[in-house]
Amino acid sequence: MKNIYAVLDIGSATLKFLVAEISNLNANVLFVKTIPSHGVKKGIIEDDRILTRDIQKVIKEAEEFLKTKITSVALAIPTIKAKLYQSDSSISLKDDGSKITNEDILRVLRLSAKFKRSKDEEVVSIIPVRYHSDKGATIEAPIGEVSRNLIVDALVITTNKELLYPYISVVEKCGIEVLDITINAFACAKEAFDAAYLQEGAVLIDIGYKTSTISFYKDGYLQYLTVCQVGGYDFTRNVAQSMQISMNQAETYKIKYGSLDVTKGQNDIIHTTVIDGKKYDYTQQDLADILKESAYDVIGKIKEKVDVIDSAGKYETLIVGGGGELEMIDTIASEVLECPVRVYRPQTIGARDMSLVSTIGMVYYLMERNKIVGNYPSSLVLPDISNTMSVRFKGLTKTSSKNQNGKMSKLIDSFFSED
């Protein structure tokens, strides 16, 4: 049976749902959908009932399209309130050595989470960065090697319990199990960067709706993580205010004509505003001027966060996220940040939207976890596995959640239990 996983990314503006089949270390997208989300503000769930309806809606559409039942999802949660820890732990095997197993890897990873932290924090991800056995250090799990000891350097990511539990709860209310969880920033990195960049150093700027996340990776670790209160909303708001139109209309113009290139369609009138009987015409150049001014402001505020990173300008720097879907934003970013900046767009067929980087990355995250914990059960089984190719062409080319009184979901309890 092939591994097919569903990924859910719940944002403040949009809800992204993707189903992909893992084949030969590649992700083949079978279904992808982005819809407006409701009930979430700046990463915090404020109305779980309306959000539940959104999730049920997109899952139902996926099930009807794929003609099967979806039983589980991998969940990408907001980076806001996440904290990072570098931890190392070790276990002793037999005195004369024994073969390292998946269970040994899990045991030492659980130990990595045994350190003092706030009672309001919950561990969401333990990511092995480097393994040490009798044969030396490696970034690959040394399963099957004979060793007397096993040491693991790990990245431990935590988040606030009051933020995390509602995300798990809202998924489980839909009758769906949560396979695994990580934060958006780490999921994005799994898609956007290869292992070399994560070792040598890389900066990722994820421009969202009202917030942007800046993350820095080096030596295999996510070393710096911060959130900036600017995003695609700022561009839309400035267009609405300048052209004196509604936010919905401003968003439509931004998406349709969105470019920072003031030479495009210079005299093409795209909107006329009438105020007190007087007409005001706005051209594509006017829109580009507004967006360009907004870009300097947004990237300028992001620069304040990037400047905290020592010698940030020498590292690979990428922009991802739906808020960055503006032509020439990389040019403005390169100028403001004073270093080469690239816009990253996924190369996976059927999921080349910048806003889908985290969902694709989550699939690759699961692929890596499979090597450590063993294969996750598939999120669904197609009625006839031979139909997988036709699905591609047609479409694109643990128990109920506990409350917030300190009790954990089955998912977290099972993986991070220290027993």
Token pair for 11: 């944002």
Confidence of residue 415 (pLDDT cuts 50, 70, 90): low
How many Å is the Cα radius of gyration of the chain? Answer: 23
Question: What tens digit of pLDDT does each residue of 212-232 get?
Answer: 999 999 998 999 999 999 999
Query: How big is the CA angle at 173 (ends 169 and 179), to the nearest 5 degrees?
Result: 65
Q: Is the pLDDT of residue 419 over 80?
A: no
Query: What is the set of domains in the chain, with CATH numbers?
Result: 83-160 (3.30.1490.110)
Confidence of residue 142 (pLDDT cuts 50, 70, 90): very high
Token pair for 328: 């020439």
Query: How many Å apart are CA 148 and CA 133, to the nearest integer?
Result: 8
Least confident of 21-25, 50-54, 165-169, 355-359: 21-25
Q: Is the pLDDT of residue 393 over 50?
A: no
Question: What tens digit of pLDDT does each residue of 325-354 get?
Answer: 999 999 999 999 999 999 999 988 889 999
Q: Is the pLDDT of residue 74 over 90?
A: yes
Question: How are beta strands 44-45 and 342-343 bridged, if at all?
Answer: unpaired
Confidence of residue 395 (pLDDT cuts 50, 70, 90): very low
pTM score, two decimals? 0.86
Question: What tens digit of pLDDT does each residue of 258-290 get?
Answer: 899 888 767 889 999 998 889 999 999 999 999
* Residue with the larger pLDDT of the pair 70 and 394: 70
**Could you tell me which of 250, 236, 252, 241 has the C-alpha nearest to residue 323?**
236
What percent of the chain lies above the pLDDT cut of 90? 76
Q: Is the pLDDT of residue 392 over 60?
A: no
Q: What is the mean pLDDT of residues 66-85?
A: 95
3-state secondary structure 3-64: EEEEEEEECCCEEEEEEEEEECCEEEEEEEEEEECCCEECCEECCHHHHHHHHHHHHHHHHH
Q: What was the pLDDT predicted at 294?
A: 97
DSSP assignment of 62-102 equals HHHHHTS---EEEEEE--TT-EEEEEEEEEE--TT-EE--H
User: Cβ neighbours of residue 127 under 8 Å, at least 6 residues apart?
Assistant: 154, 155, 156, 157, 186
Q: Are 58 and 17 in contact (CB under 8 A)?
A: yes
Q: What was the pLDDT predicted at 396?
A: 41
In 3-state terms the chain splits into helix, strand, coil percentages (rounded to 5) of: 35, 30, 30
Q: Where are the alpha helices (DSSP H) in 352-400?
A: 357-373, 388-395
Q: What is the mean pLDDT of residues 136-152?
A: 94
